[in-house]
Amino acid sequence: MLESLKLSEKNTFISLKTKGHLGATDTLFGLAKTIELEKIKPGNLVVLASSAAGFSWGATVIKY
């Protein structure tokens, strides 16, 4: 996904290796952590995307 959007690893936050799958809170946890790490600045477009077992997925774009 990052490659197709011409983004790098520095443009994302993945918690799977350290926190595991958090279910519905994955995207909100990621958003909170990226704000905490100052990876997101006011005015940035942010994509929140997640997938789960059973082939379900969701995504949204917000302006921070």
Q: How many CA atoms lie within 13 A of 56 on its CB side?
A: 5
Contacts of 29 (CB under 8 A, 6+ apart): 15, 19, 22
Considering the chain, what percentage of its residues have pLDDT values greater than 90? Answer: 19
Locate the domains of the chain by residue range: 9-63
Q: Residue 30 burial (CB < 10 Å; 0-12/13-18/19+)?
A: buried
* Amino acid sitting at position 59: A
Third-level CATH fold of 9-63: Peroxisomal Thiolase; Chain A, domain 1 (3.40.47)
**pTM summary value:** 0.69
- Give the confidence band of 32 by pLDDT, cuts at 50, 70, 90: very high
